[in-house]
Amino acid sequence: MPETATAPEIVTVPCLRDNYAFLLHDPVTGATAVVDVPEAAPIEAALAERGWRLSDILITHHHADHIDGVEALRKATGAKVWGARADAHRLPALDHAVSEGDSVTVGGLSGDVIDVSGHTVGHIALHFPQAGAVFTADSLMALGCGRLFEGTPEQMWASLSKLAKLPPETLVCSGHEYTASNARFALTVDPDNSALISRAAAVDAARAANRPTVPSTLAEELETNPFLRAADPAIARHLGLDGRDPAAVFARIRSLKDAF
């Protein structure tokens, strides 16, 4: 199929203890972006292995485990740095400051900026329709979502609800390998969900073989991630919150997870 030769490529790069950065490569123009830079060395190695030149650095949020390698990588490659305008005061110097509704460009690829405040206020996700992928870092995660350090449950629920509307086949490229413990928690709030039961087993098998469980697809998150399923009557009933607003159910799930 001729289009496979020009399809964007995504590479998952494990960093630090349990972080993921991602390379997004446009074979047509040769441009390559990295999404988040927990540390520079594994990303430079992944680029060198493929002979790719870094053109852009895309930052999702200001936490150290997502930006600590930015300056080293900028210096080594001259790549342009993109991040949220709202967070410019606490991010490395931005060449391009963006807000929801803006686009980021990586060669011939265009990504939509989505505000996904909740974990932090100012956190963004980047959806690249041509790559069929959304980079969510610590907003929507595999079987989980980020802890609410700055935002309210209502904010995070609104953020997750935006992501839930993307095409179901979208790859969810999130920032951490937390899936096995997320699965153990998910089973406590959604114990009768057969898709979740089988996914939890698949996650354990993948981790036992030291394989990453990220990226996942939005379709599987919609089916099994309790934080995306706060509007599901079965979960509300299980938590004794029958008929309550999904944001309230989400808030309860998040606080149960914090104590898990």
Residues that bind Fe ion (CB under 5 A): 65, 138, 175
CB of 6 to Zn ion, least distance (A): 34
CB of 220 to Zn ion, least distance (A): 23
Nearer to Zn ion (CB atom), residue 87 or residue 138: 138
Question: Does residue 119 carry a catalytic annotation?
Answer: yes
Which of 119, 123, 127, 238 is an active site residue? 119
**Taking the alpha carbons of 224, 20, 37, 80 in that order, is the dihedral positive or negative?**
negative
Q: How many residues does the chain have?
A: 260
Contacts with Zn ion, 111-150, as mask; x by CB under 5 A: ---------------------------x------------
Angle, helices 153-164 vs 246-258, to 10°: value is 110
Question: Does residue 127 carry a catalytic annotation?
Answer: no
Nearer to Zn ion (CB atom), residue 63 or residue 199: 63
Member of 25, 63, 229, 254 binding Zn ion (CB under 5 A) = 63
State the greatest distance between any 2 C-alpha atoms of the chain, in Å, as a whole number.
55
CB of 62 to Zn ion, least distance (A): 8
Is 87 among the residues that bind Zn ion (CB under 5 A)? no
Exposed e or buried b per residue across 148-169, where buried means at least 16 C-beta atoms within 10 angstroms of its C-beta: beebebebbbbbbebbbebeee
Nearer to Zn ion (CB atom), residue 39 or residue 204: 39
CB of 119 to Zn ion, least distance (A): 6
Residues in contact with Zn ion by CB under 5 A are 63, 138
